[in-house]
Structure 1
Amino acid sequence: MGREEQRAAMRQVREGLIAELEELYRGAFDRIGSQDLGEGAIARLTQLLLRSREAAITPLEQEIEAPLITTPAGQPAP
């Protein structure tokens, strides 16, 4: 597998993971909303879940958006 193919495959894997995580968190938010826990408990759980989602998804998104660092032909990679 060539370098470009590897990059494309990694991007697809990351995008797939993000989609799966989004679905997981959406389900968790739905479950929290359907429970009779009181506003304070729901707010705390929601805040924790939002922070967890951010920590799980942001690094994957940043890696997808990161600029590609290349070296000129004939020079060793750093």
Structure 2
Amino acid sequence: MSREEKRQNTRRIREQLIKELENLYLSAFDIIGKENLGEGAIARLTQLILRSREAAITPLKEEIEAPLITRAPETGG
């Protein structure tokens, strides 16, 4: 497998993981919405879930968006 193929496979896996995590968090919000919880409990749980989501997904997105540096730029000399 070439270096580019490995890079594309890694990217595909990260994107799939992000989709799966997004679905998991959506399910968590659905569950909270169906439970008979008070507003305070819902607010606290929602905040925790949002913080967890950001901590889980942001690093994956940042890695996908990071520029690929394969070699140092050449200097004229």
**TM-score, with structure 2 as normaliser:** 0.91
CA distance in 1, matches of 2:26, 2:58: 16
Paired residue for 1:66?
66
Paired residue for 1:53?
53
Aligned length: 72
Larger RCO (CA within 8 A; separation ≥ 6): 2
Spell out structure 1 runs of 4+ moving beyond 6 A. Answer: none
Q: After TM superposition, list the pairs within 5 Å mapping 1:1-78 onto structure 2.
A: 1-71=1-71
Alpha carbon RMSD of aligned pairs, Å? 0.8
Identity level (%): 71
CA shift, 1:32, in A, is 0.6
Paired residue for 1:75?
none
Structure 2, gaps ≥5 residues long: 73-77
CA shift, 1:50, in A, is 0.2
1:21-61 CA deviation, whole Å, 9 max, x = no partner? 00000000000111111100000000000000000000000
**TM-score, with structure 1 as normaliser:** 0.90
